[in-house]
């Protein structure tokens, strides 16, 4: 029996994307799945679907603050969040970061997982900027990329090829029905199954015939 293709559409501005990313990266070694990381642009999805950041609703923002803390503990991912972070998110564009990640995916895909992780760590654990070129290069260095590779990828983010690839990935997520991130799409029994958020992974396992072993299986 072939492996089930599971696509993870994500943006490093999204803390829930980080939670889903880490758990799926753990389960790719346990479940019979082919995990495909699909860096997209959350801002583009929001615009195309008419969605709005949940933190713009005061009561929802209040809940998210508690929810992310609980989920970070449950999934054992070092997300740290305060009420101040909601404003920080609204003032930060992840477009350059996601184009940089896309450029690396296109040229040096073996760095895609560690690079994405380092962007989340910088933004959600260290509470540092990820939008400026110097910050992006710092993240790349932490992920193990050479200065030469990092500089080349940074130059690529303004190219039509990279811009188009990121837009195409974002559009593909929307076609599957995504209205936010993370969006997980499992291709099973000849059709795509969309799961939104990082708290549907147990259900994902049930649909594709795999057993959920908890947030940090050993």
The whole-number pLDDT of residue 78 equals 97
Burial of 108 (0-12, 13-18, 19+ CB in 10 A): middle
Q: Which residues are catalytic?
A: 14
Q: Output the pLDDT for position 47.
A: 95
Q: How many residues does the chain have?
A: 218
Superfamily of domain 4-208 in CATH is: Glutaredoxin (3.40.30.10)
Alpha carbon 91 to chain centroid, angstroms? 19
Domain residue spans in the chain? 4-208
**Tens of pLDDT, residues 180-200:** 999 999 999 999 999 999 999
Radius of gyration of the chain (CA): 17
Summarize pLDDT for 5-43 with one digit per residue, the tens: 999 999 999 999 999 999 999 999 999 999 999 999 999
Q: How far, in Å, CA of 125 to CA of 70, rounded?
A: 15
pLDDT category, 1, cuts 50, 70, 90? Answer: low
Residue pLDDT, tens place only, 95-148: 999 999 999 999 999 999 999 999 999 999 999 999 999 999 999 999 999 999
């Amino acid at each position: 029996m072939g492996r089930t293709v599971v696509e993870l559409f994500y943006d490093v501005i999204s803390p829930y994307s980080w939670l889903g990313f880490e758990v799926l990266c753990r389960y790719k070694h346990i479940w019979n799945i082919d995990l495909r990381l699909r860096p997209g642009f959350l801002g583009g999805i929001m615009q195309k679907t008419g969605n709005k950041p949940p933190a713009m609703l005061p009561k929802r923002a209040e809940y998210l603050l508690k929810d992310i803390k609980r989920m970070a503990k449950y999934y054992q991912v070092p997300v740290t969040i305060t009420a101040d972070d909601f404003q920080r998110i609204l003032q930060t564009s992840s477009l350059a970061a996601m184009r940089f990640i896309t450029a690396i995916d296109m040229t040096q895909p073996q760095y895609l997982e560690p690079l994405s992780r380092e962007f989340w760590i910088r933004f959600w654990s260290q509470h540092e900027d990820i939008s400026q070129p110097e910050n992006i290069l710092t993240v790349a260095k932490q992920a193990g990329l050479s200065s030469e590779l990092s500089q080349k990828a940074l130059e690529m983010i303004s190219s039509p090829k990279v811009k188009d690839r990121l837009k195409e990935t974002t559009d593909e997520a929307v076609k599957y029905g995504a209205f936010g991130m993370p969006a997980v799409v499992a291709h099973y029994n000849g059709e795509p199954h969309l799961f939104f958020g990082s708290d549907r992974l147990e259900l994902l396992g049930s649909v594709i015939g795999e057993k959920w072993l908890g947030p940090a299986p050993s």
